[in-house]
């Protein structure tokens, strides 16, 4: 618990209103659910499901994901209010400068969880259990005594697990009786870890450059052991692991996609470049769409993967088989 006298942000002076309780659900973060779409598309492409998924299934699936994510945001903002007061931007969050009611907060959290899980129950066993995992991930990340967000490296890995969870949700909407390949889930997980580590690197550089390095561990305890160097190295590690698992997935399930790997590498490089800029939008992923360069790189990757979905290259089967050149001396 942070000493109130040391709080860098404003002390709550006014009571919360209805719109404040809506605000902490962060519905403006719904753009993050774009990570569900590849699960939907890949399930269609790879599984060829016999079950015909209607638009209502996808709508209810998305609503379930939004409700559970909002529940996680509610508990996150409430439990982090004293820590966020030390952050130059997050100190403006509703829970920091408004006096909110704990009973209302926990009621809002439970209602969102109930809505999310109730919708999930009607979408199959895989979707329902994945939704339960989504709820548990928010508890593990935010709530003591575990609260993985305070633990160096584990904070990144536990936050980024939401990426494969979202992939699973999208996949289960289309192919409710199967589970995505492990290589694809690991690709998503390590790719998410890269994004989260880059986000922390951007935060570290910006806050340190502004003379607030001493506030970083008070905002998030894991920053007590982070440096710009080990964050950059961890970004490199997560990017390499993501690329490795992606290559395994592509070669095994759709070899044609391998030609998109250089474009995906450029996308990773573009994001890392953003994280190194002063005042980077990488520190606020919900605003990444404002980066034209990143959006262009993303669109090129999506376009290439879409094209390669319909282009068959049988010669790749021969190229992937083991072979050796014989040299006659």
Note the pTM of the prediction, 2 decimals: 0.86
- Amino acid 2: pLDDT: 37
Q: What is the per-residue DSSP string for 26-47?
A: -GGGGGGGGGGHHHHHHHHHHH
Distance CA 197, CA 203 (A): 10
Give the pair of three-digit tokens for residue 312.
Answer: 């068959």
Q: Are 159 and 210 in contact (CB under 8 A)?
A: no
Q: Are 238 and 190 in contact (CB under 8 A)?
A: yes
- Amino acid 11: pLDDT: 57
Distance CA 185, CA 168 (A): 8
Q: Are 88 and 210 in contact (CB under 8 A)?
A: yes
- Amino acid 3: pLDDT: 40
Whole-Å CA distances, 304 to 48, 242, 255: 21, 19, 13
- Cα angle, residue 246 at apex, residues 323 and 237 outer, rounded to 5°: 105
Q: Are 251 and 317 in contact (CB under 8 A)?
A: no
- Amino acid 5: pLDDT: 37
Q: Are 232 and 210 in contact (CB under 8 A)?
A: no
- Amino acid 158: pLDDT: 94
* Alpha carbons within 13 A on the beta-carbon side of 38: 18
Give the pair of three-digit tokens for residue 180.
Answer: 């995505």
Distance CA 138, CA 136 (A): 5
- Amino acid 49: pLDDT: 65
Q: Which residues of 248-268 are buried (b: 16+ CB within 10 A; e: fewer)?
A: bbbeeebbbbbbbeebbeebb
- Amino acid 50: pLDDT: 55
Give the pair of three-digit tokens for residue 165.
Answer: 């969870």
Low-confidence ranges of the chain (pLDDT < 50): 1-9
- Single out the residue of 2, 40, 63 nearest to residue 172, CA to CA: 40
Distance CA 150, CA 18 (A): 30
- Amino acid 6: pLDDT: 40
Distance CA 44, CA 174 (A): 7
- Single out the residue of 197, 302, 298, 186 nearest to residue 244, CA to CA: 186
Q: What is the per-residue DSSP string for 193-231?
A: HHHHHHHHHHHHHHHHHTT-GGGHHHH-GGGGS--HHHH
- Single out the residue of 183, 152, 187 nearest to residue 268, CA to CA: 187
E strands along the chain, which residues?
Answer: 14-15, 98-99
E strand or H helix at 232:
helix 228-253
- Amino acid 61: pLDDT: 93
- Amino acid 10: pLDDT: 54
- Give the pLDDT confidence of 110-153 residue by residue, as tens digits: 999 999 999 999 999 999 999 999 999 999 999 999 999 999 99
Whole-Å CA distances, 174 to 32, 246, 317: 20, 21, 28
Q: Are 294 and 280 in contact (CB under 8 A)?
A: no
């Amino acid at each position: 618990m942070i000493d109130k006298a040391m709080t860098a942000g404003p002390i709550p002076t006014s009571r919360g209103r209805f719109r404040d309780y809506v605000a902490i659900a962060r519905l403006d973060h719904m753009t993050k659910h774009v990570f569900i779409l590849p699960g939907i598309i890949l399930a269609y492409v790879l599984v060829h499901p016999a079950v015909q998924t209607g638009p209502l299934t996808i709508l209810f699936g998305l609503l379930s994901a939004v409700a559970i994510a909002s529940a996680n945001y509610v508990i996150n903002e409430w439990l982090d209010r004293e820590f966020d007061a030390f952050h130059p931007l997050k100190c403006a969050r509703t829970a920091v400068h408004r006096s909110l009611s704990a009973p209302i907060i926990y009621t809002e959290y439970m209602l969102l969880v109930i809505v999310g899980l109730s919708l999930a129950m009607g979408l199959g066993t895989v979707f329902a259990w994945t939704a339960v995992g989504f709820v548990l991930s928010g508890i593990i990340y935010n709530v003591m005594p575990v609260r993985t967000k305070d633990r160096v490296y584990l904070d990144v890995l536990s936050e980024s697990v939401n990426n494969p969870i979202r992939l699973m949700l999208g996949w289960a909407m289309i192919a409710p009786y199967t589970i995505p390949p492990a290589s694809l889930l690991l690709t998503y997980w390590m790719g998410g870890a890269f994004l989260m580590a880059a986000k922390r690197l951007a935060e570290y550089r910006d806050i340190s450059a502004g003379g607030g390095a001493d506030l970083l561990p008070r905002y998030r305890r894991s920053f007590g052991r982070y440096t710009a160097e080990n964050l950059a190295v961890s970004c490199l590690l997560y990017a390499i692991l993501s690329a490795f698992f992606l290559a395994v997935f592509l070669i095994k399930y759709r070899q044609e996609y391998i030609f998109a790997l250089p474009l995906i590498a450029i996308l990773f490089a573009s994001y890392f470049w953003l994280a190194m800029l002063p005042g980077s939008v990488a520190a606020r992923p919900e605003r990444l769409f404002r980066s034209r360069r990143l959006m262009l790189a993303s669109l090129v990757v999506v376009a290439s993967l879409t094209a390669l979905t319909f282009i068959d290259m049988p010669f790749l089967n021969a190229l992937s088989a083991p072979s050796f050149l014989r040299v006659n001396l």
